[in-house]
Amino acid sequence: MGKGQELYKKAKTMIPGGTSLLSKRPEQLLPENWPVYYSKSKGCHVWDLDGREYIDCGLMGVGTNTLGYAREEVDEAVIKVVHDGNLTTFNCPEEVYLAERLLNMNPWAGGVRYTRGGGEANSMCVRIARAYTGKDKIAICGYHGWHDWYVSVNLGDSDALSGHLLPGIPTSGVPKGLRGTSIPFHYNDYEELLGIVNANPDLAAVKMEVCRNFGPENNFLEKVRALCSERGIVLIFDECTSGFRETFGGLHMKYGVYPDMTIYSKTMGNGYVIAAVLGKKEIMESAQGSWISSTFWTDRIGPAAALAALDVMEKTKSWEYITEKGLQNKARWQALADKYDLKINQWGIPALAGYTFDSPNALAYKTYITQEMLKKGYLAGTLMYTCLAHTQEILDGYFEALDPIFADIRDFEDGKDVIKALEGPVCQAGFKRLN
């Protein structure tokens, strides 16, 4: 057992669930054999606690680092903050510079507030939208974090959220009184949303991801926009994850449909902690009449990192590069599947795309890919968040390594036992309580 697995065993005795982010649990990736912890990182390279080096062609920090790990320009800005002090009685000027920058980028918006996590930014949006409209209910589509207002969706139908990225989210600890306050709707199902709006005159906001797995059809976004405008409902686009991956800002810019509020997070600080809530002037002003305040929302590293990261993004046009590489990945995954006569279903915007085998063994195959790619020095499952450090050479190497693994999967489809080929249990999908 490597040092990482040893440490993880210890972690589970002290940290319930092992880690603070489900997607980084080894049980989700390669149970019992995932290296779990890192000692250092650079570009798309990560070193584990035993000093082994890997190329990250997988989660890339779960989407936090489109510029690669330890990007020099961003780290330099952070190191300057570390030298000058990250927090004082005064506020940091960077939060104003960043607000100016974000508002210039989003001319429809007139105000900015910051949080650090994406989930809390979502909660902030909900509070502001409720304060602005004086109404309570929220219609949701997509993943929006861990807070009560969102998880309460599952109080109605025990797994209504399973169609929104993450199956199995439990409601334990969420007040039952919230039942019915957040109502889910399916992406591209305008009639369903219209029904919810008609049945709930007390709807404060429609909160949704612009798109996650598939793009909009039949002018879905335009219709949602028009409906919200007509009924006085705040339209919130959660761009926590989609932001800065296909445009210099939100994915909504690609579609030319503008929200009343939006959220940027994940990659905005290229791995440093920062999230921003943007909204129309009159809506954001409602924040003044509501209690929204937190000490560490004023730290300096977040906005300083974001300013430097935005500079690098603009200079390199990172969103174009990562989208181009993502499109190439999609074509090459399909070509590999065709070569071995395997059926895969692809999903996701190019810069965070993935595929699922159309087979009852899909999860075992994903585990097998992770296991075999790890042996070849790659952190890779069945999806890839692309970054600037994914050079053509690295991606060529990745596909060369993947090819014989797809050949093995062909053998499994023809009857060879995939479970026997696994050196540990099959990975988990969705949320599960750990033993």
Segment interacting with ligand PLP, rule: CB under 6 A, options 34-42, 84-92, 138-146, 393-401: 138-146
Minimum distance, C-beta of residue 165 to ligand PLP, in the bound complex (Å): 7
Which CB sits closer to ligand PLP, 114 or 398?
Answer: 114
Which CB sits closer to ligand PLP, 121 or 374?
Answer: 121
137: left (phi over 0), alpha (psi -120 to 50) or beta: beta
Minimum distance, C-beta of residue 13 to ligand PLP, in the bound complex (Å): 25
On whether the CB atoms of residues 46 and 59 are closer than 8 A, the answer is no
Cβ atoms within 10 Å, residue 49: 16
Which CB sits closer to ligand PLP, 115 or 382?
Answer: 115
377: left (phi over 0), alpha (psi -120 to 50) or beta: left
Kindly write out the interface string for residues 258-287 of this chain, putting x where it contacts ligand PLP by CB under 6 A and - elsewhere: -------x----------------------
Segment interacting with ligand PLP, rule: CB under 6 A, options 116-124, 299-307, 321-329, 339-347: 116-124
Question: By Cβ distance, which residue is nearest to ligand PLP?
Answer: 118
Segment interacting with ligand PLP, rule: CB under 6 A, options 84-92, 189-197, 234-242, 332-340: 234-242
Does 17 participate in binding ligand PLP (rule CB under 6 A)? no
Kindly write out the interface string for residues 199-228 of this chain, putting x where it contacts ligand PLP by CB under 6 A and - elsewhere: ----------x-------------------
Does 150 participate in binding ligand PLP (rule CB under 6 A)? no
374-383 burial string, b = 16+ CB within 10 Å, else e?
bebebbbbbb
First to last CA, the chain: 19
User: Which one of 41, 66, 171, 241 is in contact with ligand PLP (CB under 6 A)?
Assistant: 241
Query: Which residue is it, tokens 């929204």?
Result: 292
Segment interacting with ligand PLP, rule: CB under 6 A, options 79-87, 115-123, 313-321, 402-410: 115-123
Give the number of residues written for the chain.
Answer: 435
On whether the CB atoms of residues 230 and 254 are closer than 8 A, the answer is no
Whole-angstrom distance, CA of residue 40 vs CA of residue 38? 6
Whole-angstrom distance, CA of residue 50 vs CA of residue 91? 41
Segment interacting with ligand PLP, rule: CB under 6 A, options 132-140, 237-245, 338-346, 374-382: 237-245
User: Which one of 118, 269, 279, 348 is in contact with ligand PLP (CB under 6 A)?
Assistant: 118
CA torsion angle 225 229 231 235 (round to 10): 60
258: left (phi over 0), alpha (psi -120 to 50) or beta: beta
Which CB sits closer to ligand PLP, 5 or 348?
Answer: 348
Q: Using only C-alpha atoms, what is the Rg of the chain? A: 22
User: Which one of 28, 33, 66, 122 is in contact with ligand PLP (CB under 6 A)?
Assistant: 122
Which CB sits closer to ligand PLP, 166 or 421?
Answer: 166
Query: Which residue is it, tokens 């999860």?
Result: 363
Which CB sits closer to ligand PLP, 33 or 382?
Answer: 382
Cα distances (Å, whole numbers) of residue 233 to 256, 259, 283, 415: 19, 11, 11, 54
Minimum distance, C-beta of residue 349 to ligand PLP, in the bound complex (Å): 12
Please calculate the CA angle 123-124-126 and round it to the nearest 5 degrees.
Answer: 65
List Cβ neighbours of 331 (8 Å cut-off, separation of 6 or more): none
C-alpha 144, offset from chain centre: 10
Minimum distance, C-beta of residue 197 to ligand PLP, in the bound complex (Å): 22
Which CB sits closer to ligand PLP, 120 or 136?
Answer: 120
73-99 burial string, b = 16+ CB within 10 Å, else e?
ebbebbeebeeeebeeeeebebbeebb
Does 246 participate in binding ligand PLP (rule CB under 6 A)? no
Which CB sits closer to ligand PLP, 45 or 245?
Answer: 245
Whole-angstrom distance, CA of residue 225 vs CA of residue 221? 6
User: Which one of 54, 143, 244, 368 is in contact with ligand PLP (CB under 6 A)?
Assistant: 143
Does 365 participate in binding ligand PLP (rule CB under 6 A)? no
Which CB sits closer to ligand PLP, 137 or 207?
Answer: 207
Kindly write out the interface string for residues 40-69 of this chain, putting x where it contacts ligand PLP by CB under 6 A and - elsewhere: ------------------------------
Binding footprint of ligand PLP on the chain (CB under 6 A):
117-119, 122, 142-145, 209, 238, 240-241, 265
